[in-house]
Amino acid sequence: MKANPFAIAALTLAAFAACADVPESQEEAASIESPLGGTISGSLSSSGQSWITHSLDVPAAGDLTLVLDWTNASADFNLFLIDPDGVTVAHQNGSAKPETLTFHVDEPGAYKVGVKAKTGSSAYTLTTSFVPDVVEYDFSGNAASGSWITHTFAASSGDNIDATLSWATASTNLNVFLYDPSGTLLDGASSTTDRPEAVSAVAATSGTYKIGIKAKTGSSAYNLHIEVGGGSPPTPVEPSYPGRPVNGKLA
């Protein structure tokens, strides 16, 4: 008897879904908009609602860490990360708890974290944290005595900003100042003897920040090095939504 190619294809897809431990149709699974940088809680059952996704808006390139834990030690939960194109890019499906996954995000966007109750029932917690990549800026120039020079750069809310100003002529005194997008002074360094000078702050808002350089006495060539990123997102606010999804068996 000749094999039915459509039946073979269906069996192959079903076998893949079983190995991956994910629903055959992710669109049928409940999804909850969730904060980045906090703890989310819920409950799942392998005999009822066994799969749920949490949507995360990842604002920049960086390291995303997910920790899934559950209360019932006899249950087995699995963890999946799905990119904005719907592709599962990382997963943890061991039998021990908690499940921990760290993934470097290259493309910002709307990601989903899938939680699967493979066996048993339990309440669970999903903790997310994100550390953006550090972006470096380098500027150089010549500062004449009494001059004022500015350089601008971009930063996002929660970014660490560290700037270091060095110059060649030891007898020259250069000062450095850091301003936020509204023009408010965040930090300044105006020592008469220290070289280099350094300023730092945590960005409270996203936008264009500015470094000001003042040649207080003397003239010199200078180099300005700025590092932006590596910070933590603001304290998340628990989103509101109309109740958790009702239990249901996913086909």
Q: Which fold has domain 135-229?
A: Jelly Rolls (2.60.120)
Q: Which fold has domain 21-132?
A: Jelly Rolls (2.60.120)
Q: 187-245, pLDDT tens digit by residue?
A: 999 887 788 999 999 999 989 999 999 999 999 999 999 999 876 543 333 333 333 33
157 or 51, which is more confident:
51
Residue ranges covered by each domain of the chain? 21-132, 135-229
Q: 53-94, pLDDT tens digit by residue?
A: 999 998 888 899 999 999 999 999 999 999 999 999 999 988
Rounded to an integer, the average pLDDT of 112-132 is: 93
Strand partners for 55: 33, 112
- 120 falls in which pLDDT band (50, 70, 90)? very high
Note the pLDDT of residue 5.
46
Rounded to an integer, the average pLDDT of 120-134 is: 92
Instruction: Spell out a b/e string for 131-148, using b for 16 or more CB atoms within 10 Å of the CB, else e.
Output: bbeebeeebeeebeeeee
Q: Is the peptide bond before 98 cis (omega within 30 degrees of 0)?
A: yes
